[in-house]
């Protein structure tokens, strides 16, 4: 077979989704990725247990799933090294946390610096950690929402890539507010991820900037109207 002189096409970036729970963000990303001209391949869904809804959803969506049980006999950095090995075996470029509720060790974050993305259900830096909707209600904030960010070594911290704000309404309880934020998450995560992978969103220090024709969208702030 004669060799072609044309350069080989650029490799399609490979994304791993790390999940721990329900999987609704995984599904939002998978549905976006099934659309036209998505720039990456959803190459792996990684979970530590088979019996979680996110794994069932991933299988229903036809995504490749790997279950990597965590070995309680080894420490977190060693567990995370096993995760790294699994990601490297699958030649993963982007690590996307979609409801992944384990805290990753600093060594893991350093090893994959700038390539780990997370979504958190608050307008960071407000309300890192758990029970964000309950705490937002208790604090009396009028705006709440979700943040997509690069992961750094601190909890729910790192350069902010995009945020979606939703109103907090007078008769909200935790469940109603959580539902409104989750809808916003599903609208926020896929386009931010896409822009990052396509290089339309670049990170310099703590700040992310949209470049080129997307610059008008900086910052990406989605207002999700109340139904």
Query: Residue 225: which residues within 8 A CB-CB, separation 6 or more?
Result: none
E strand residue ranges, 19-115? 41-47, 65-67, 94-97
Q: Is 133 a catalytic residue?
A: no
Closest to ligand GAR by CB, 59 or 209: 59
Whole-angstrom distance, CA of residue 16 vs CA of residue 197: 13
Q: Does 54 bind ligand GAR (CB under 6 A)?
A: yes
Interface pick for ligand GAR out of 15, 25, 180, 222 (rule CB under 6 A): 25
In the bound complex, what is the minimum distance in angstroms from residue 91's beta carbon to ligand GAR?
25
Q: Does 190 bind ligand GAR (CB under 6 A)?
A: no
Please report which helix (H) or strand (E) contains residue 32, including its range.
helix 24-33
**CA neighbor of 117 nearest in space, from 160, 146, 83, 86:** 160
Tell me how many residues contact ligand GAR (CB under 6 A).
15
Q: Does 80 bind ligand GAR (CB under 6 A)?
A: no
Q: Assess whether the previous peptide bond of 125 is cis (omega < 30° from 0).
A: yes
Q: Does 166 bind ligand GAR (CB under 6 A)?
A: no
Number of Cβ atoms within 10 Å of the Cβ of 100:
24
Q: Does 22 bind ligand GAR (CB under 6 A)?
A: yes
Q: Does 182 bind ligand GAR (CB under 6 A)?
A: yes
Closest to ligand GAR by CB, 99 or 190: 99
E strand residue ranges, 65-179? 65-67, 94-97, 116-120, 143-150, 160-167
Interface pick for ligand GAR out of 99, 145, 190, 191 (rule CB under 6 A): 99
Q: Does 183 bind ligand GAR (CB under 6 A)?
A: no
Closest to ligand GAR by CB, 186 or 200: 186
Q: Does 194 bind ligand GAR (CB under 6 A)?
A: no
Tell me the catalytic residues.
Answer: 120
């Amino acid at each position: 077979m004669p060799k072609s002189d044309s350069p080989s096409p650029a490799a399609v970036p490979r994304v791993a989704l790390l999940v721990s729970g329900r999987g609704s963000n995984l599904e939002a990303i998978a549905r976006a990725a099934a659309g036209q001209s998505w720039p990456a391949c959803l190459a792996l869904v990684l979970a530590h247990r088979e019996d979680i809804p996110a794994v069932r959803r991933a299988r229903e969506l036809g995504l490749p799933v790997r279950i990597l049980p965590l070995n309680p006999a080894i420490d977190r950095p060693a567990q995370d090294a096993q995760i790294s090995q699994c990601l490297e075996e699958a030649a993963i470029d982007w690590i996307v946390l979609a409801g992944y509720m384990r805290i990753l060790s600093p060594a893991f974050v350093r090893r994959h610096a700038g390539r780990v993305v997370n979504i958190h259900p608050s307008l960071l830096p407000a309300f890192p950690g758990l029970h964000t909707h309950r705490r937002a209600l208790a604090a009396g904030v009028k705006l709440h929402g979700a943040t997509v960010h690069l992961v750094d070594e601190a909890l729910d911290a790192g350069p902010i890539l995009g945020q979606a704000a939703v109103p907090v309404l007078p008769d909200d309880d935790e469940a109603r507010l959580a539902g409104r934020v989750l809808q916003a998450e599903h609208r926020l995560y896929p386009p931010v991820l896409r822009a990052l992978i396509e290089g339309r969103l670049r990170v310099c220090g703590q700040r992310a900037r949209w470049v080129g024709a997307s610059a008008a969208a900086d910052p990406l702030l989605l207002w999700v109207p109340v139904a």
